[in-house]
């Protein structure tokens, strides 16, 4: 993958930000049936194993730090306890409904810039209603692994990029577009 393309994936409003998880991931999923829940758990474990990043039962500060909420309608967010405090966005359900969004992701960061938490909200009552669970899980987990500035479809190339970003020689966060050169070099070297 060329550095310019990598830089595009992490640039929003002229600002480059590529951050990865800086702590073990402790996932929790709400709103799925048991058979679908198992698929999402397996995909999450596989993605973290591919990136060589640890998974944990709990985060010592937060309990869970990768939270996924599956809903049939954005109005269901009103039943999530302390949603405004959790997200820092008191008008989130109305905003998502007003924009016709199918999914929304919020990242929180540690002092070193690494991902501290990721909250993903998915509206299964709209365009995602017929999505295959494994395909949907793969896309959602990939998008939670790095701070992509745009919606990215799962691919082998994207998986290689994620693995490169989690290489121990790479910094937990890059804020200069030259970081994309390093990612491209890691991918080209086959060190991932």
Q: Tens digits of per-residue pLDDT, 154-169?
A: 999 999 999 999 999 9
Instruction: For residues 187 and 192, give the distance between their C-alpha atoms in angstroms, rounded to a whole number.
Output: 6
Query: Residue 47 pLDDT more than 50?
Result: yes
33 pLDDT exceeds 60?
yes
- Residues 168, 173, 177, 180, Cα dihedral to 10°: 30
Together in a domain, 92 and 162 = no
Same domain for 172 and 112, yes or no, is: no
Question: Can you tell me which residue has the tokens 């596989």?
Answer: 46
Phi, psi of 23, deg, nearest 5: -140, 160
Tell me how many domains the chain contains: 2
Q: Is the pLDDT of residue 192 over 80?
A: no
**pLDDT > 90: what percent of the chain?**
84
Task: Identify the band that residue 80 occupies on the pLDDT scale cut at 50, 70 and 90.
Answer: confident
- SS3 state at 44: helix
Determine the structural domain holding residue 191 and report its residue range: 1-19+149-192
Residues 164 and 69 both lie in one domain: no
Question: Do 39 and 128 reside in the same domain of the chain?
Answer: yes
**Mean pLDDT over all residues of the chain?**
94
pTM summary value: 0.92
Same domain, 127 and 94: yes
Mean pLDDT calculated for residue range 48-54: 96
Residues 115 and 38 in one domain: yes
Q: Indicate whether 40 and 127 sit together in one domain.
A: yes
Strands (E), the chain: 11-12, 15-16, 18-19, 27-30, 66-71, 103-109, 115-123, 173-174
Render the burial of 17-40: b for 16+ CB within 10 Å, e for the rest: bbbbbbbebbbebebbeeebbebb
Query: Is the same domain home to 110 and 44?
Result: yes
Residue 75 belongs to a domain with what CATH number?
A: 3.30.379
Task: Read off the pLDDT of each residue in 74-78 and give the average, rounded to a whole number.
Answer: 91
């Amino acid at each position: 993958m060329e550095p310019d393309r990598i830089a595009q994936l992490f640039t929003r409003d002229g600002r480059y930000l590529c951050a990865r998880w800086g702590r073990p991931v402790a996932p929790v999923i709400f709103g799925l049936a048991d058979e679908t829940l198992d698929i999402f758990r397996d995909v999450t474990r596989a993605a973290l194993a591919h990136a060589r990043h640890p998974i944990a039962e709990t985060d010592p500060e937060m309990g869970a730090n990768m939270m996924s909420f599956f809903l049939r309608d954005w109005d269901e967010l009103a039943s999530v306890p302390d949603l405004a405090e959790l997200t820092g966005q008191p008008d989130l359900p109305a905003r998502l409904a007003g924009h016709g969004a199918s999914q929304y992701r919020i990242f929180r960061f540690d002092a070193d810039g690494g991902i501290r938490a990721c909250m993903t909200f998915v509206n299964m009552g709209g365009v995602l209603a017929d999505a295959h669970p494994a395909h949907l899980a793969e896309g959602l987990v990939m998008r939670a692994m790095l701070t992509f500035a745009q919606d990215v479809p799962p691919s082998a190339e994207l998986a290689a990029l994620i693995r490169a970003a989690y290489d121990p020689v790479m910094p937990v966060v890059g804020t200069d577009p030259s970081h994309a050169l390093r990612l491209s070099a890691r991918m080209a070297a086959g060190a991932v």
